[in-house]
Amino acid sequence: MTTARIAEKHPLDEIIRSDRMPHIWCPGCGIGIAMRCYAQAILDSGIPIDQQVVVSGIGCTGRVAGYMNIDSYHSTHGRAIPFAVGVKLANPNLSVTVFSGDGDLAAIGGNHLIHAARRNVDIKVICINNFNYGMTGGQAGPTTPKGARATTAPYGNPELPFNLPYLLAASGANYVSRWTTIHVRQIRDDILYTFQKPGFTFIEVLSPCPIGFGKSNNIEDGLEEMFLYKERCVLVHDGDVHAEELGIDLREDKNIYIGKFIEREQPPYQPVRVEMNT
């Protein structure tokens, strides 16, 4: 018989608020995996931890801000990006990450998402896409595939979803990539990369939501969704696939493209400065 052994210390203790554990996420949820990648990237980045700031909106992913042991702001629904814009512009020495969900960033906060990308403000956005509103119990959102079921789409979602990389590419983001929560090294490496990539960067992370999305769409559990990613994911590089082709429908036997889609070198937004005659 084996007995559970409780470790005295975890390598991420310094960067995660262990006094707030256990977290609220469901068994099989992918948000914790992505948060772990973010935490590891912060430790590996060499950027002083006290210069790292995380801003979240509302929702399951919005809780990330509360679990990171850095300066952290859990703002209102949809407003993480403009809050982060204020943080970044008022103190450019800070490394500012927005860690939030697809509903928060692309529905209620959609206007801020495209405008921050257009301005190319130097903030790092990590967007967990789990195809639904998880916190409130599995409602349809801006990324829910057409036809997928949700508690507010009991007959199947009548709407077309956003293709987020395509949206961000069109809006002017300097960097756009997509991974799934099976790609832990790639997520960490990509977050590390964006820390030193000037301008607006956007990493979409597809994440299982077995309780919210899975239950209504015949995905048994988080593991099944991870296997589904493993089978369907096709790695592409910048330019391989037109951004228009990057849409996802989990229920169809179609490729899910992952990788680095957009890499631009546009200078980031700088507030106007005027030198006065002295």
Partner 1 sequence: MDDRTVLTGNHFMNGDHACAEGAIAVGCRFFGGYPITPSTEIAERLARRLPEVDGVFIQMEDELGSMAAILGASADGARAMTATSGPGLSLMMENIGLAVMMEIPCVVVDVQRGSPSTGLPTMPGQSDVMQARWGSHGDYAIVAYAPSSPQEMFDLTILAFNIADRYRVPVLLLADEVVGHMVERVVIPPREEIEYWKRKTPEDAGDAAVSPFMAADADLIPPMIHAGEGYRVHFTGLTHNEQGYPEMSAETHHKLVNRLINKIKINQNKIIRTEGLYLEDAEIVVVSYGCTARSARHAVRDARNRGIPVGLLRLVSLWPFPTMLFQELAGRVDKFIVAEMNLGQMSLEVERCVKRPVNGVFHAGGAMISPFPIMDAILEVAE
Candidate ranges 2-10, 76-84, 178-186, 228-236; the one touching partner 1 (CB under 8 A): 76-84
Cα–Cα distance list, 1 to 4, 7 (Å):
10, 19
Query: Nearer Cβ to partner 1, position 92 or 137?
Result: 92
Site for partner 1 (CB under 8 A): which residue of 25, 31, 39, 72?
72
Cβ proximity of 178 and 206 under 8 Å: yes
Query: Nearer Cβ to partner 1, position 62 or 222?
Result: 62
Query: Nearer Cβ to partner 1, position 78 or 103?
Result: 78
The full DSSP string for 246-261 is G---TTSS--EEEEEE
Tell me the per-residue interface mask from 4 to 33 with partner 1, x by CB under 8 A, - otherwise: -------------x-xx-------------
| Residue 70 in the binding site for partner 1 (CB under 8 A) | yes
Q: Which amino acid is at 219?
A: I
| Residue 46 in the binding site for partner 1 (CB under 8 A) | no
| Residue 88 in the binding site for partner 1 (CB under 8 A) | yes
* Residue 28 DSSP SS3: coil
Query: Nearer Cβ to partner 1, position 20 or 237?
Result: 20
Cα–Cα distance list, 223 to 11, 64, 105, 210, 231 (Å):
25, 22, 26, 9, 12
| Residue 93 in the binding site for partner 1 (CB under 8 A) | yes
Per 3-state DSSP, what percentage of the chain is helix, strand, and coil (rounded to 5)?
35, 20, 45
Cβ proximity of 110 and 102 under 8 Å: no
Give the residue from 227, 237, 132 showing the smallest Cα distance to 177. 237
| Residue 86 in the binding site for partner 1 (CB under 8 A) | yes
Site for partner 1 (CB under 8 A): which residue of 28, 59, 78, 172?
78
Q: Other C-beta atoms within 10 Å of 262: how many?
A: 20
DSSP code at position 25: P
Query: Nearer Cβ to partner 1, position 89 or 241?
Result: 89
Query: Nearer Cβ to partner 1, position 43 or 241?
Result: 43
Which three-class secondary structure string do you get for 67-131?
Answer: HECCEEEECCCCCHHHHHHHHHHHCCCCEEEEEEEHHHHHHHCHHHHHHHHHHCCCCEEEEEECC
Tell me the per-residue interface mask from 114 to 153 with partner 1, x by CB under 8 A, - otherwise: -x--------------------------------------
* Residue 204 DSSP SS3: strand
- Taking the C-alpha atoms of residue 6 and residue 61, their distance in angstroms, rounded to an integer, is 27
| Residue 89 in the binding site for partner 1 (CB under 8 A) | yes
Site for partner 1 (CB under 8 A): which residue of 28, 59, 82, 134?
82
Site for partner 1 (CB under 8 A): which residue of 111, 235, 237, 267?
111
Binding residues for partner 1 (CB under 8 A): 17, 19-20, 49-51, 53, 55, 65-66, 69-76, 78-79, 81-91, 93-94, 111-112, 115, 271-274, 276-278
